[in-house]
Structure 1
Amino acid sequence: MARAPLSLQPSLKALKGAALLVASAGLLAACVMAPAPQGRAPQPPQARSQKPKAAAPSAASQALRAYYAGVQAELLSLGLMRTDTGAKDAPFSARILANNFTRIAFFDEFDSSSGTLVARPTEKRLRRWGNPVRVGLNFSASVTKDQRAIETARVRSFLARLSQVTGHSIQLANSGVNFHLHILDTDEIRALGPTVRRDAPGIGAAELQSITNMPDSTYCQVTTSIDEASNLIERAFAVIRAEHPDLLHLSCLHEEISQGLGLPNDSPQARPSIFNDDQEFALLTPMDEMMLKMLYDKRLSPGMTAAEARPIIDQLADALVGGDS
């Protein structure tokens, strides 16, 4: 049976704000210029009972670790990367929820129709997963065994939360993987081309370049493969930098996994939400959970336009928030 072509839609979490870029760029420049260690004293052979050590990060990777630590510190000093719900200072009505859902679910963050990625909201039909989502977790060689165990438990817990919210099967898997989640350092990201082509066949040159040549201002990103006939997401490929400090890293996990489920856009009007490039909120908020719940509600169907879906969206938002006050 012939299959419809797949459309690949990228989404990324990037550094915004000129002042923060200037401050962080200075930190990066200082780190890159620092001299690399000249050598190490010989070490005794490891005993067989010792755990194998992770690969030592390169000088470029170490510089990025310092850079992103500075980025996170700067964001926190500005009162951003909040981990609260936003209920006290960012209440929202059913209408606000419906408007934000429409902006985020029915628009792509980037347009690649010209052969290059252009940051331009582009209206699309509703898309979501039809098959169970099976997430394969892949780590950089520089991530230690203990860190991998912690990370795996953290991702498993978040996927269980998403599955409960959406009512859709979402879990970690070692086989049948259709959502590839890579946590890699900068050197491995640059060499990721063959892996991307294998796991996301049909990816365009612009999307591939956006992954393997991620600028330092891009924290993480996800690309989804969508069947144009059914508007169902068939595969996703996410990359998160291994150099992030903990909160920035967790923020990337929350946003990229959630966007890979079918909420591809960001909007400056979305508050309190992680689907907003101002970085105010670091973690999935109650509004975000409501939007995911709406996305997978059976009263909405993949392929609907925003105009077709809007009456149903309003009903769902009223039921979740309790109507406008």
Structure 2
Amino acid sequence: MKARAALLLAMVLNACSPSTGGDVTRTATFSDSSLPPVKLFTTGKYAGPIRSNNDLALDFIELSFKLESGRDLPVFTRFEGPVTVAVIGNKPASLQPDLNRLLSRLRNEARIDIKQVNASSANITINAVSRKEIQSVLPQAACFVAPNVSTLAEYRKIRKTNKANWSQLRSRTRLAIFLPNDVSPQEIRDCLHEELAQALGPLNDLYRLPDSVFNDDNVHTVLTGFDMLMLRTYYSPKLNNGMTRGQVAATLPYILREVNPRGEFTTASYTTRTPQQWKRAIETALGPSSKSSARRKAAAEAITIATAMGWTDQRRAFAHYAMGRILQSQNPREAQKQFLVAQKFYKSTAGTQLHQAYVAAQLAAYAVSQGDGSGALQLIAPHVKTARENENAALLSTLLLIRAEALDLENRPSEAQAVRMDSLGWARYGFGSDWAVRAKLREISSLSPLKR
């Protein structure tokens, strides 16, 4: 079983938070609402990998031969031949267009022979079920994928047997994905991308990857250029079910030379692995159950470990970001210092534009709360495009709402209202129900000294 955590550890903010967006012109109405129609992404920008082929080979091996628990996988497994996908259950209106786009990308970018069918014998069955049903079997999961089943009823029967154990697989023939059908369109899509990618390919996540959905920070929620390259490599004819770690490692240089020729001329960075202690500290710091004091202690431990490891990449930044999140409600000024440190490390790390956009939202929200509309506008300006290109509607709508409040502070009310209206279609995709969208509007509005 491979599950996406119910509480995203990454960058989902509380009082001044972004969510998800990309480039668009199309709209759709998924339910009766007094708000503007839901906006849908039709294009995005999927930058290619930023690492050498040597580093990509190391990433591929660690992604493909370990589970998130740290357990080793004995052999390489994938689907052989054309892959079929079916959807069952109570399908939300947004699911089909998002699935169509994803399958098209998998065919064109990852070169996987995959298509949707109606047959009950599909290789991958996507089950659209309620969040309550998912959490009745996995309480901390937002969505998950399981081997050797097609339905939730089947999974309940085998969940504690070897049939549900990924380490026992020697090939992939039948899997099920369980997606919630009663959450926002963006959350459904994010689950779809991550779980379908892992149904097809790697089962591990690595915090060291700045540009991938295969990362528990959950910053990237739409498959990136790196992810598509990993999947294209996964389905190279040079690889087969049952190959050992050594056999795959010996074959990877030849595959990567074909699929990513520019990586042959990029200098290897040999990024260090992430210790389990740091992972546990981050998960405690951003998890749902710990007391504030325990979370602060865990964030401080994550910063200490990152410093001792000599990291200057997104993991060091993420530890400071976590501390900022924890301090935000009790000590906003100190939280801003942590966000600024996080931003410094993100800016020095390639592939972290989306991470920087999340931090900018925090910094800009604080600027609005201090009555600094001009400063907030400057902070937001470079990042709206990033949110669009990464198809992050929740983040995009949040940035636009903060921009609207900043424009009001600058005495530009007509511009502010136009931006606010533009944000609502994205907010409906990113946050879902009308009450959630209106709550986000109130939340951002309450930051401004003009509204207190």
Q: State the 1:279 CA deviation.
A: 0.8
Q: Distance in 2 between matches of 1:180 and 1:174?
A: 10
Q: Distance in 1 between matches of 2:244 and 2:15?
A: 36
Q: Secondary structure at the match of 1:171?
A: strand
User: In the alignment, is the contact (CA less than 8 A) between 1:270 and 1:276 conserved in 2?
Assistant: yes
Q: Which residue identity does 1:262 align to in structure 2?
A: G
Which of the residues 274, 283, 301 maps onto 2:240?
301
Q: How does 1:239-278 map to 2 (within 5 A)?
A: 239-278=178-217
Q: Distance in 2 between matches of 1:298 and 1:276?
A: 27
Q: Which residue identity does 2:180 align to in structure 1?
A: R
Q: State the 1:291 CA deviation.
A: 0.4
Q: Distance in 1 between matches of 2:126 and 2:112?
A: 18
Where does residue 153 of structure 1 map in the other structure?
97
User: In the alignment, is the contact (CA less than 8 A) between 2:74 and 2:167 conserved in 1?
Assistant: no
User: Residues 164-184 of structure 1, C-alpha deviation per residue, up to 9 Å, x if partnerless?
Assistant: 334332111111322110121
Q: How does 1:166-245 map to 2 (within 5 A)?
A: 166-175=110-119, 176-187=121-132, 189=133, 212-215=136-139, 217-225=140-148, 231-245=170-184
Where does residue 31 of structure 1 map in the other structure?
none
Instruction: Point out the more displaced range, 227-236 or 171-180.
Output: 227-236
Matched, 1:134 2:57: no
Q: Secondary structure at the match of 2:212?
A: coil
User: In the alignment, is the contact (CA less than 8 A) between 1:12 and 1:218 conserved in 2?
Assistant: yes
Where does residue 11 of structure 1 map in the other structure?
2
Where does residue 364 of structure 2 map in the other structure?
none
User: In the alignment, is the contact (CA less than 8 A) between 1:82 and 1:281 conserved in 2?
Assistant: no
Where does residue 75 of structure 2 map in the other structure?
125
User: In the alignment, is the contact (CA less than 8 A) between 1:166 and 1:293 conserved in 2?
Assistant: yes
Q: Distance in 1 between matches of 2:81 and 2:15?
A: 37
User: In the alignment, is the contact (CA less than 8 A) between 2:7 and 2:142 conserved in 1?
Assistant: no
Could you tell me which runs of 5 or more consecutive residues in structure 1 were left unpaired when the two chains were aligned. 1-9, 21-70, 110-118, 191-210
**Is the radius of gyration larger for structure 1 or structure 2?**
2
Matched, 1:310 2:234: no
User: In the alignment, is the contact (CA less than 8 A) between 2:84 and 2:124 conserved in 1?
Assistant: yes
State the TM-score, normalizing by the size of structure 1: 0.60
Inter-CA distance 75–95: structure 2 relative to 1 (3 Å threshold): farther
User: In the alignment, is the contact (CA less than 8 A) between 2:206 and 2:215 conserved in 1?
Assistant: yes
Q: State the 1:212 CA deviation.
A: 4.0
Where does residue 97 of structure 1 map in the other structure?
56
User: In the alignment, is the contact (CA less than 8 A) between 1:124 and 1:305 conserved in 2?
Assistant: yes
Q: Distance in 2 between matches of 1:17 and 1:134?
A: 29
Q: Distance in 1 between matches of 2:16 and 2:85?
A: 30
Q: Across the two proteins, how many residue pairs are aligned to each other?
A: 226
Q: Distance in 2 between matches of 1:224 and 1:76?
A: 39
Inter-CA distance 307–173: structure 2 relative to 1 (3 Å threshold): same
Q: Distance in 1 between matches of 2:170 and 2:183?
A: 33
Q: Distance in 1 between matches of 2:201 and 2:171?
A: 9
User: Residues 211-260 of structure 1, C-alpha deviation per residue, up to 9 Å, x if partnerless?
Assistant: 74222x42110012389999320101111112322322211110101110
Q: State the 1:273 CA deviation.
A: 0.3
Q: State the 1:321 CA deviation.
A: 4.8
Q: State the 1:120 CA deviation.
A: 3.1
User: Residues 49-75 of structure 1, C-alpha deviation per residue, up to 9 Å, x if partnerless?
Assistant: xxxxxxxxxxxxxxxxxxxxxx95549
Root-mean-square deviation (Å): 3.2
Where does residue 281 of structure 1 map in the other structure?
220
User: In the alignment, is the contact (CA less than 8 A) between 1:156 and 1:171 conserved in 2?
Assistant: no
Q: Secondary structure at the match of 1:136?
A: strand
Q: Which residue identity does 1:214 align to in structure 2?
A: L
Q: Which residue identity does 2:185 align to in structure 1?
A: D
Q: State the 1:155 CA deviation.
A: 0.9
Q: Secondary structure at the match of 1:107?
A: coil
Q: Distance in 1 between matches of 2:235 and 2:226?
A: 15
User: Residues 145-192 of structure 1, C-alpha deviation per residue, up to 9 Å, x if partnerless?
Assistant: xx43x42232123113213334332111111322110121134x26xx
**Higher RCO (CA-CA < 8 Å; seq separation 6+):** 1
Q: State the 1:139 CA deviation.
A: 3.0
Could you tell me which runs of 5 or more consecutive residues in structure 2 were left unpaired when the two chains were aligned. 23-43, 149-162, 268-452
